[in-house]
Amino acid sequence: MRISDWVWGFRRRLIFFSLILLFSLIASCALPVREAYRVDQSLPIGSLQGDSFVGERFPFTIKIPPGWQGATRYPEFLVEQGYGVDGLKETPFFLFNPRTKSSIQIDLSPAGRTARFNQEMIESLTRTGAGGLVAELRQEHGKDFPIQLNKLMPIQLKGVPYAARMSAEFTVNGKWQEQGWIYAFAEPFQVFILYLITGENRSADKIALEQALSSFEYLGPR
């Protein structure tokens, strides 16, 4: 899957689009650092095993928090929240709370042959990406729309050498929500994790989010 497909398939995935596109254009002039990697589309995406999802087409595993569900097909409420169907169909795995409609979306995409990564670059892309989200929200809701951007932080994901996360909190139609994004790299995959925490039971859903992220493990290329 191309970066542009992943980004434009979702509302607010433009957070990363301009940055990663620019990065890819710059990197295209460099010497290759890896062989071209193609995802084996003939493999099943993965399976639920007890309280965990184990990927097969995409090499990762993650535990499903209590009260949440996991699926390789998107829950319909994501469409109601503004996410595009085409993009949802391309996303390998979803974790969600069917009652509160909080969710986590996980996607892996092979990096280009010449793309080089380190923690500083990952953090820079993640931090600057907040501008795309702010611009979209203010275009949608007005230039004075209040948004609280939370500080960028590195994040530890098992098997992932470089990862960073950031989030924004805002209220739409009287309903609070936190939109967060994680950008990471583990050879040869870029890892994208988007999450949305709604206000219905935010404390419990935030705990569930952290439980899920702490259980995420990249298993390495097949």
Distance separating alpha carbons of residues 130 and 149, to the nearest angstrom: 8
Three-state SS for 50-72 is CCEEEECCCCEEEECCCCCEEEC
**Cα separation, 129 vs 124, whole angstroms:** 8
The residue range of the domain holding 132 is 3-218
Please write the tens of the pLDDT for every residue from 59-105: 999 999 999 999 999 999 998 888 888 888 889 999 999 999 999 99
pTM: 0.88
pLDDT for 11: 43
Tally the domains of the chain.
Answer: 1
Task: State in Å, rounded, how far the first CA of the chain is from the last one.
Answer: 17
Low-confidence ranges of the chain (pLDDT < 50): 1-15, 17-18, 25
Q: What is the pLDDT of residue 65?
A: 97
CATH number of the CATH domain containing 16: 3.40.1000.10
The pLDDT, as a whole number, for residue 159 is 97
